[in-house]
Structure 1
């Protein structure tokens, strides 16, 4: 599987070498001694007659760029982290609510609870592609704020539900409201950060998931002790979380900028530096771009897109089921409702540590991403297999097996980092983002339905399916790495230059700015020197 022959080195746009001046896998001395693999040290600019070659000049001062990076981290990452933490809490509180009276008070029967878990992802699925397009076209910060307000309102209204139909409506609307958040955060991360910085930053804000799970468990434990109130504990959970999310949208509106050029926390000079960083070593500018349908088509015929979709599908089918049934499964090990809630605290801490650590390693080493996906999935294969065969293992091992599942949540941010680092072109990036989250929805919709009511509390079918899915995800990750490695080697042979997985391959003018020419919004297939992170 290769790129189409019509798109080759002869018609790609020139790309820069990485900011550190050294291509992947070779030292500076080795490059100097290898005349067959020159560093790409010039840029080609299209003109009416022919292309003119200009010398590459790095106009970014490293010290100034580092100061700007620190300011960006302080201003952007906390906002994304807290919002993502609330996002996850509002989504997973259903599992705690289920053991504190929700199923009884709303008269759920048979597979109805599974449908309450799944319908969230139906709303998410239907709104994913439209909202992904809107993220690129509307003021991003304001659009994310509006969605946060809406989802907070929907969560609070969940407390008013008294039947299956009411729960279906609010869960569907919650899926619609939250469909914007993760694609929007991926877009923001690619707007502000370079390819080397993206995996670590994604890992940080995505770990808000696990911290949110920890806080949600503490909240459920505290509210679960409330006695004598006319309002049932599960209703208090939704009221508290919905109100908190709604209020959080207020500071988000004022603090989250729509783009680099409107960032109030940066001076005019710092905004230029911030933009130059992404142009030199990011995946291209996201401002003043137009939607290009040829990039959409290219995304669909790009083989790496389908490996990424495979990883997402086979990790999210297990996620959808285990997320909705977490406390119920732990309860089947012999723990009380309150104990089940507390057990998810160390589970969340483990998950947060693995997400952050794997994100750091993926950002630090350009060839580890796919390997890390396989590494974080393998404990899940073992854990789910043990739970599936729990009748044949000592009772004390059951909880250990459950904790092994905590590493699986790190696969998604690693997969997202591959998307952010390995795709150029606004329309192409947003299309693969939509594909990723449509697959996310399909997997999470399907997951709860493997937990059959007739198999309660052992759920043999569910854990057999989880074991198989995680195994297939590992295969997809290994195949993706082999494909990308082969593609990098092929590009080096065809281009005659040593590229870099830290280079953005962005066309710049003499001042180091994005070219005003509309063709500056080009894809990874159309640049020279661009190498894929493995």
Structure 2
């Protein structure tokens, strides 16, 4: 190991006074007092705990359900493909791959502008408007009769959905502390997997319809209409920021704002775009380790998401059976996302190790499928289920971003870069599934195996770098600091709650 780099032995910094369990009230512990709140002091008392419980009940279900719809329209393409979409729209050659990837072209073009708008516009209203547009586009997909029509609606859908994840990450960082974010991100992101489950049930139910309108068209009509209607409760219940949260009293809003300011996520009201923060983000080495993890996990995701049902069919199952098989797959994925998110929030030094842990089964699963002609047939479906853990890598990566980047512009810049990378990976993924190689798709699964292996290397490199940074900062500052707090600013002209970056504060330590 290079001189000056610390070893990577596991020394788990645990949150010994964890936040109350998500989405339920907890009997107050004697350890939690009603002491008055003081500026700059981490808030861990009964009043703050009650506020956190209210925030959880009001915010998390809205994000979870919206994210569930967000994922359903992606995976429904795979179900539609085995229920006649390819035949009815006369797709040939690699055209289906382009239908899968053009979504991410729209997403890519709108990713950076929308991250700026998320920080500048009323966030709740902006997300509601996007949901209305996105639901309309999903429903219109049912009217497509050719390749060109599918390209247009999928491109527009990418634009509509580009706001959802950056917006949710921004909202999460404005409501929660660094210790609280990983599990909350894990919970609402698990809407992905639950969405996959619901989409499979929808496809199975609609697949039995015998009418003039083909089953795949019904899938888009039902899903698009439901998404459009969901915008109504979103408009009524999702506040733009803490100061407009009607479910909190004036005093509780003050507590909520102080919680995030003292934790190091900083204030996000009244901020403006700062180009020096954007530059700092782009020269920060940890940004590029995170980009590497994202790229090498999203190339496999893009392909497997569009071809999931087609791959299951190639294992010897019918169209209806392929939709049912994806139900336990989605449940397993949801459990892994939520469980890994809990562990990442509970232990401040586990995040990179968890990323490596959830990716490793995918390396094994893709290797088995790649060599499936030399592997017993009863292992093929087992290998497919091993791929289910890979979806947990993204929320773990996103929680690292929200916990380890301070400063609104810096945080929104890395979020934009991250989702540009997300788009590039997902655009490329479907094109490794060569029609000429179906149903084995050797090139695709070889690529998936290599990409996941490289993602593990990036996660290991990130952990080594962050541990070195923490040790170096401790040596220079002469204090231990904490990966749970926000540190303080030595410059007397800057207050602790101002929009400053992690490089500008003393005592700020990175979660590993």
* TM-score for the superposition, normalised by structure 2: 0.91
Counterpart among 255, 266, 271 of residue 237 in structure 2: 255
Match of residue 484 from structure 1: 466
1:505 CA displacement: 2.6
Residues 420-435 of structure 1: matches in 2 within 5 Å? 420-435=402-417
Match of residue 329 from structure 1: 311
1:105 CA displacement: 0.3
Count, aligned residues:
481
Deviations 1:290-346 (A, max 9, x none): 110000000000000000000000000000000000000000010000001100000
Deviations 1:108-162 (A, max 9, x none): 0000000000000000000000000000000000000000000000000000000
* TM-score for the superposition, normalised by structure 1: 0.88
Residues 103-502 of structure 1: matches in 2 within 5 Å? 103-227=86-210, 229-502=211-484
2:466 is paired with a residue of what secondary structure? helix
1:159 is paired with a residue of what secondary structure? helix
1:347 CA displacement: 0.2
8 Å CA contact retained: 2:200, 2:324: yes
1:507 CA displacement: 5.7
8 Å CA contact retained: 1:362, 1:372: yes
The structure-2 alpha-carbon separation of the partners of 1:508 and 1:289, relative to structure 1 and needing over 3 Å to count, comes to farther
1:58 CA displacement: 3.1
Distance 1:296 1:518 in 2: 20
8 Å CA contact retained: 1:190, 1:282: no
Match of residue 524 from structure 1: 502
Distance 1:242 1:516 in 2: 48
The structure-2 alpha-carbon separation of the partners of 1:509 and 1:323, relative to structure 1 and needing over 3 Å to count, comes to same
1:520 CA displacement: 1.7
1:92 CA displacement: 1.3
Structure scoring higher RCO (CA < 8 A, sep ≥ 6) equals 1
8 Å CA contact retained: 1:195, 1:283: yes
Residues 35-114 of structure 1: matches in 2 within 5 Å? 58=41, 60=43, 62-114=45-97
Structure 2 stretches of 5 or more lacking a match?
A: 1-11, 17-37
8 Å CA contact retained: 1:362, 1:414: yes
Distance 2:491 2:320 in 1: 62
Which is further off, 123-132 or 517-526? 517-526
2:511 is paired with a residue of what secondary structure? coil
Deviations 1:350-374 (A, max 9, x none): 0000000000000000000000000
8 Å CA contact retained: 2:111, 2:419: yes
1:517 CA displacement: 6.0
2:257 is paired with a residue of what secondary structure? helix
2:62 is paired with a residue of what secondary structure? helix
8 Å CA contact retained: 2:489, 2:504: no
1:528 is paired with a residue of what secondary structure? coil
The structure-2 alpha-carbon separation of the partners of 1:318 and 1:131, relative to structure 1 and needing over 3 Å to count, comes to same
1:260 CA displacement: 0.2
1:521 CA displacement: 0.8
The structure-2 alpha-carbon separation of the partners of 1:520 and 1:249, relative to structure 1 and needing over 3 Å to count, comes to same
1:273 is paired with a residue of what secondary structure? helix
Deviations 1:172-194 (A, max 9, x none): 00000000000000000000000
Match of residue 36 from structure 1: none
8 Å CA contact retained: 1:507, 1:520: no
1:433 CA displacement: 0.1
8 Å CA contact retained: 2:15, 2:179: no
8 Å CA contact retained: 2:207, 2:215: yes
The structure-2 alpha-carbon separation of the partners of 1:61 and 1:104, relative to structure 1 and needing over 3 Å to count, comes to closer
Distance 1:70 1:243 in 2: 32
1:57 CA displacement: 6.2
8 Å CA contact retained: 2:15, 2:348: no
The structure-2 alpha-carbon separation of the partners of 1:59 and 1:368, relative to structure 1 and needing over 3 Å to count, comes to closer
Deviations 1:70-117 (A, max 9, x none): 000000000000000000001110000000000000000000000000
**CA RMSD of superposed structures (Å):** 2.0
2:194 is paired with a residue of what secondary structure? helix
1:261 CA displacement: 0.4
Distance 2:386 2:95 in 1: 29
Match of residue 505 from structure 1: 487
1:504 CA displacement: 1.7
Distance 2:314 2:39 in 1: 63
Match of residue 4 from structure 1: none
Structure 1 stretches of 5 or more lacking a match?
A: 1-22, 28-54
Larger gyration radius, structure 1 or structure 2: 1
